[in-house]
């Protein structure tokens, strides 16, 4: 039956949502759970080749919850859709266990050229492995894989695979240099908030360090040239009136 793991699904919210006060509150008031239950029924019909009934059931779920989950998607246990409005999960998307999605997340597909019926069944949507967290507004596009315990920051656009335990942010999404994740660490919205570095500022700082090192090296080379040419070194200071250092007369 599609609802045989209902208690397990509810417990996922108790663990990851600090606002969840009881199982009854979750069951009656959480649209993410309601959307998942609609999906379980639609998927049950879909797998029995009742395509039209599955799509109709899916549409009812979207109408009542604002969350669109295609009945052909594959979803593991304890999926948490927090707030949920605007979430879209495509037909060939695959989600592992203990995945967390926030509102306005899109697991979208890249449409292939449709020349035959066989091409319509190719993998077009992303795969999210166990423990993945996707922040609000994030777009994950194409048949890519977000590996185990990875985090996708809010409003990121992901078009390439994300390694296990990695946090990605930005457009297009890139790994954060100093943010790591572990299997036991839950990061709300997929974005660390403690000591969060600005990746652009980090790169600019590295660039300034390289420029300063080059300036120092140029100064050293200028002094070496002056010594070899017989002039007095001027310690890298600019010469007055544009005069060149005195040259040693030829013997």
pLDDT tens figures, 34-68: 999 999 999 999 999 999 999 999 999 999 999 99
- What's the token pair of residue 79? 């999926």
- What's the token pair of residue 98? 């203990």
pLDDT tens figures, 79-128: 999 988 999 999 999 999 999 999 999 999 887 655 555 556 788 999 99
* Per-residue model confidence (pLDDT) at position 83: 87
Cα 130 from Cα 146, distance rounded (Å): 9
pTM higher than 0.85, yes or no?
Answer: no
Cα 248 from Cα 229, distance rounded (Å): 7
Residue pair 125/107 in contact by the 8 Å Cβ criterion: yes
Query: Mean pLDDT throughout 168-188?
Result: 69
- What's the token pair of residue 238? 């600019």
CATH number for the domain running over 6-197: 2.160.10.10
- Give the list of residues 6+ apart from residue 85 with CB closer than 8 angstroms, or none: 31, 66, 67, 103, 104
Query: Mean pLDDT throughout 150-177?
Result: 88
pLDDT tens figures, 203-249: 788 888 899 999 999 988 888 888 888 765 555 555 555 555 555 55
Cα 91 from Cα 103, distance rounded (Å): 19
193 or 206, higher pLDDT: 206
Domain ranges of the chain: 6-197, 202-242
DSSP letter for each residue of 177-203: EEEE--TT---GGG---SS---HHHHH
pLDDT-derived band at 130, boundaries 50, 70, 90: very high
- What's the token pair of residue 93? 């998307």
Query: Mean pLDDT throughout 135-160?
Result: 92
* Per-residue model confidence (pLDDT) at position 112: 65
Rounded to 10 degrees, what is the CA torsion of 243, 245, 246, 247?
Answer: -120
Beta strand pairing status for 88-89 and 106-108?
parallel
For residue 239, give the DSSP letter.
Answer: P
Distance of CA 63 to the CA centre of its chain: 28
How buried is residue 231: exposed, middle or buried, by Cβ count under 10 Å (0-12/13-18/19+)? middle
């Amino acid at each position: 039956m599609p609802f045989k793991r209902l208690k397990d699904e509810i417990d996922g919210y108790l663990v990851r949502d600090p606002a969840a006060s009881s199982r009854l509150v979750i069951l009656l008031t959480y649209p993410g759970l309601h959307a998942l239950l609609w999906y379980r029924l639609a998927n049950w019909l879909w797998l029995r080749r009742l395509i039209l009934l599955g799509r109709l059931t899916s549409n009812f779920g979207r109408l009542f919850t604002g969350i669109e989950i295609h009945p052909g998607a594959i979803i593991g246990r304890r999926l948490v859709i927090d707030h949920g409005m605007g979430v879209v999960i495509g037909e060939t998307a695959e989600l592992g266990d203990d995945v967390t999605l926030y509102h306005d997340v899109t697991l979208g597909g890249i449409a292939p050229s449709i020349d035959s019926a066989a091409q319509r069944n190719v993998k077009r949507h992303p795969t999210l492995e166990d423990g993945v967290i996707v922040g609000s507004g994030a777009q994950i596009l194409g048949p890519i894989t977000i590996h185990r315990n990875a985090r996708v920051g809010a409003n990121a656009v992901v078009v390439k695979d994300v390694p296990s335990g990695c946090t990605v942010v930005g457009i297009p999404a890139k790994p954060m240099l100093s943010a790591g994740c572990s299997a036991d660490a839950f990061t709300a919205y997929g974005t660390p908030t403690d000591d969060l570095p600005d990746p652009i500022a980090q790169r600019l700082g590295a660039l300034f360090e390289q420029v300063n090192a080059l300036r120092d090296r140029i100064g050293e080379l200028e002094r070496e040239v002056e010594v070899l040419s017989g002039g007095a070194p001027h310690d890298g200071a600019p010469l007055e009136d544009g005069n060149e250092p005195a040259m040693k007369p030829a013997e």
